[in-house]
């Protein structure tokens, strides 16, 4: 895979501004940006864009960082029920986080929440999913298997519905995104 890497940094008002852009042959950019070498300022929020394969972090100053991510099913459809391998869409928050023996770090989100349950029940009522279907759970943001960050570079969706990041990226996110952090997942 051809990759062009551009790195720039400069000093403004005592803060280091750094930008690291990676362009892959697929045409998507994988970029990281930070306003300050000490991390985001104040409360952070996360917006995950499934169609762009990006996790964006915002802090009190605005956009803070963008990380490449992959998901469950290649359809990128909204999660409908347990076992469909789709990544849910909606508004969530981080419940807890932990070091994970398989996937480096795991930031658990509150799926299913009330919004998810309402969509699930409406789909059942309309007959879009089986009457005996279950909503599922255990969704979070996590790393990859050890030494397999290449799945993110290749946009290979492999999870059971979670959001997967490169291990260095999820370790960085884990360092500043705590319980209660708002997470929006959209297509």
25, pLDDT greater than 50: no
User: What are the angstrom distances between the C-alpha of 84 and each of 32, 99, 143?
Assistant: 31, 26, 21
Tell me, yes or no, if the pTM score tops 0.85: no
Mean pLDDT (the chain) is 86
Return d(Cα 92, Cα 89) in angstroms, integer: 9
- Asked whether the predicted pLDDT for residue 5 surpasses 70, the reply is no
Q: Which helix (H) or strand (E) holds 167?
A: helix 167-176
Q: In which band, very low, low, confident or very high, does the pLDDT at 8 lie, cut at 50, 70 and 90?
A: very low
At 35-84, the pLDDT tens digits run: 556 789 999 999 999 999 999 999 999 999 999 999 999 999 999 999 99
116 DSSP 8-state letter? H
């Amino acid at each position: 895979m051809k990759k062009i890497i551009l790195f720039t940094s400069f000093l403004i008002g005592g803060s280091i501004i750094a930008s690291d852009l990676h362009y892959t042959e697929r045409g998507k950019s994988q970029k990281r940006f930070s306003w300050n070498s000490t991390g985001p300022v104040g409360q952070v929020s996360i917006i995950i864009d499934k169609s762009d394969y990006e996790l964006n972090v915002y802090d009190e100053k605005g956009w803070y960082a963008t990380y490449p991510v992959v998901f469950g099913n290649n359809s990128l459809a909204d999660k409908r029920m347990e076992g469909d391998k789709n990544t849910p869409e909606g508004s969530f928050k981080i419940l807890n986080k932990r070091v994970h023996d398989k996937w480096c770090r795991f930031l658990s989100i509150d799926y299913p929440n009330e919004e998810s349950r309402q969509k699930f029940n409406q789909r059942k009522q309309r007959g879009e999913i089986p009457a005996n279907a279950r909503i599922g759970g255990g969704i979070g943001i996590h790393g990859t298997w050890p030494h397999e960050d290449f799945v993110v570079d290749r946009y290979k969706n492999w999870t059971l519905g979670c959001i997967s990041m490169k291990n260095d990226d999820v370790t960085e996110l884990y360092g500043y995104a705590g319980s209660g952090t708002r997470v929006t997942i959209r297509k």
